[in-house]
Amino acid sequence: MTDENPDEVNPPEELAAEDVVGAQETPGAAQQEREQALVEEPAAALDSVPAAETPAPDTEGTQDFVEDAPRVKPEIPGMDLEVDIVRDGEEALRGEDDDEFGDGDSETAEEEFSQPIADAAIDLAAGARYTATGKRKTAVARVILKPGTGAYEINGRTLDVFFPRPALQRTIRTALETVGLEEKIDVVAAMHGGGVSAQAGALRHGISKALVDADPNLRSELKRRGFLTRDARVKERKKAGLKKARKRPQFSKR
């Protein structure tokens, strides 16, 4: 039996690597070079990227602040306000029913309703008088049409004084403009009840009915434009136990 040198069986490098259980082996020279290259590569890539230029401030869109002029209070309260509700017959002018499914007929309908009725045959003799009564909500207008220059007299006042809002004036004038006689017929009306908006609707309703009295052939066209329809919408009555028609008192748990 020969004696063997323990250093020859297990070289010193292997013994050093196996001294500690679970210890990592010492990396070789090639592995260290690869790790160093991976560390230096991102830094070199960052150095090669040019620095972003700082954008210059945009001064073209800046404007000097201009203070708005104070609102001038009108002489008549609500004179400068516009009605934002849909008026009678406006659905037909907008063409909402025709263009409901996107068939593109809204512009055609608007042009058609904007044109006056050409076949209106109304006797404009000196003594001609056409009367009718128009209603809207609680407003009642008794209207008399007679030959003239297109003047309006409502309870002894002109149209601009009685209805200062331009929107209401347009509503009233549409009836005569439809038949093309806005400058050949005078309107005399006695008005009572309701508010300004209801009175304007009642006046247009009365003028339209008087035009039908003057020429029955206008009935179908005026009816199609919505001028002869009695607007039955009114304020709903208050209910017992409620604040208004449908508004309930506030609920209190305690």
- pTM, entire model: 0.57
Q: What does the pLDDT read at residue 246?
A: 96
In a domain, 187, yes or no: yes
C-alpha distances out from residue 99 to 21, 56, 102, Å: 86, 50, 5
Least confident of 115-124, 186-195, 213-222, 242-251: 115-124
Q: What does the pLDDT read at residue 253?
A: 93
Confidence tier at 125 by pLDDT (50, 70, 90):
confident
In a domain, 202, yes or no: yes
For the cut 60, the answer to whether the pLDDT of residue 94 exceeds it is no
In a domain, 46, yes or no: no
Q: What is the pLDDT of residues 187-210, one digit of tens each?
A: 999 999 999 999 999 999 999 999
Confidence tier at 100 by pLDDT (50, 70, 90):
very low
Q: What is the pLDDT of residues 174-191, one digit of tens each?
A: 999 999 888 999 999 999
Q: Give the strand order in the sheet containing 157-158.
A: 130-136, 139-147, 185-192, 152-154, 157-158
Confidence tier at 15 by pLDDT (50, 70, 90):
very low
User: What range does the domain containing 145 cover?
Assistant: 116-224
For the cut 60, the answer to whether the pLDDT of residue 95 exceeds it is no
* CATH number of domain containing 123: 3.30.230.10
Average pLDDT over residues 34-57: 62
121/248: higher pLDDT: 248
In a domain, 216, yes or no: yes
The amino acid occupying position 166 is P
C-alpha distances out from residue 154 to 29, 74, 157, 168, 234, Å: 110, 22, 5, 14, 23
For the cut 50, the answer to whether the pLDDT of residue 172 exceeds it is yes
Q: What does the pLDDT read at residue 98?
A: 47
Q: What is the mean pLDDT of the chain?
A: 78
For the cut 90, the answer to whether the pLDDT of residue 168 exceeds it is yes
In a domain, 121, yes or no: yes
In a domain, 247, yes or no: no
The total of structural domains in the chain comes to: 1
In a domain, 38, yes or no: no
In a domain, 138, yes or no: yes
3/195: higher pLDDT: 195
